[in-house]
Amino acid sequence: MKVIAVYPGTFDPITNGHLDIISRGVRLFDDIILAILRNPDKEPLFPLEERMEILSSVVARLPNVRVESFDGLLIDYARSRGARVIVRGLRALSDFEYEYQMALMNQRLGPDIDTFFMMPSEAYSYVSSRLVKEVARLGGDVTGLVPPEVEARLKRRLAVMGRA
Ligand code: PNS
């Protein structure tokens, strides 16, 4: 039986830390669905369509990874896709509290679906979308922290916003 995993997130933008988790996931699961939350409370830098485009492009060479968006409860979405696993990356202890609460809530809502935590390479243990955006916004170099395509799009997006 195929094991389908959903890797949910805001991915605003995707970082090399996310990609590291995805490349570990493809060794473990038959299919991985990258699921972008459609209406996060946070105001995203990149519109959903652009995040879908970026994700699709950076995982294009991985045949068993696809990109979708979702709304509503993650557990309902995962079930609708026949997924038995939710993948989340754990970097430092500071991630734990939030991830633990989400995993237990999802376990209560859907005991048939398990959350699977993976640690990215230590090289990315401090990388977050939030910090990448902050550094890029303030003119710092984010080379190596995000795929080159994201780096270029960050420059473009921030320039457009600066002009607005
Ligand atoms: O990358 P993020 O922003 O930390 O991802 C958060 C995400 C998308 C995994 C989380 O907000 C989510 O699952 N939202 C869907 C709504 C939901 O199911 N809420 C209850 C989960 S405990």
Q: What is the pLDDT of residue 164?
A: 62
Whether residue 37 is contained in a domain is answered as yes
Nearest by Cα to 76 from 34, 109, 114, 30: 109
Q: What is the pLDDT of residue 163?
A: 67
Number of domains observed in the structure of the chain: 1
Q: What is the pLDDT of residue 162?
A: 79
Instruction: Tell which atom from ligand 1 comes closest to the C-alpha of 75.
Output: 18
Ligand 1 site, residue 44, Cβ cutoff 6 A: no
Catalytic residues: 18, 42, 91, 129
Q: Checking DSSP bridges between strand 85-89 and strand 31-37, what pairing results, if any?
A: unpaired
Whether residue 78 is contained in a domain is answered as yes
Whether residue 133 is contained in a domain is answered as no
- Can you give the CATH number for the domain in which 63 is found? 3.40.50.620
136 CA to centre of ligand 1 in angstroms: 25
Report the C-alpha gap between 133 and 141 in whole angstroms.
11
pLDDT in tens, 113-132: 999 999 999 999 999 999 99
Whether residue 150 is contained in a domain is answered as no
Whether residue 158 is contained in a domain is answered as no
Ligand 1 site, residue 103, Cβ cutoff 6 A: no
Ligand 1 site, residue 37, Cβ cutoff 6 A: yes
Whether residue 54 is contained in a domain is answered as yes
Q: Indicate if the pLDDT at residue 150 is higher than 90.
A: yes
Q: Give the residue numbers spanning the domain of 87.
A: 4-124
Q: What is the pLDDT of residue 145?
A: 98
Helix 48-58 / helix 148-163 crossing angle, nearest 10 deg: 160
Q: What is the pLDDT of residue 20?
A: 98
Whether residue 114 is contained in a domain is answered as yes
Instruction: Tell which atom from ligand 1 comes closest to the C-alpha of 88.
Output: 9
pLDDT in tens, 56-104: 999 999 999 999 999 999 999 999 999 999 999 999 888 999 999 999 9
Of 26-35, 140-149, 154-163, the one with minimum mean pLDDT is 154-163
Q: What is the pLDDT of residue 93?
A: 87
Under a CB-based contact definition with an 8 Å cutoff, are residues 40 and 72 in contact?
no
Q: What is the pLDDT of residue 92?
A: 87
Closest CA to ligand 1's atom 5: 9
Q: What's the count of helices (H) and strands (E) in the chain, helices before strands? A: 6, 5
Whether residue 20 is contained in a domain is answered as yes
Question: Cα 61 from chain centroid?
Answer: 17
Phi-psi category of residue 46: left, alpha or beta, with phi > 0 → left and psi -120 to 50 → alpha: beta
Q: What is the pLDDT of residue 160?
A: 87
* Full-model pTM: 0.96
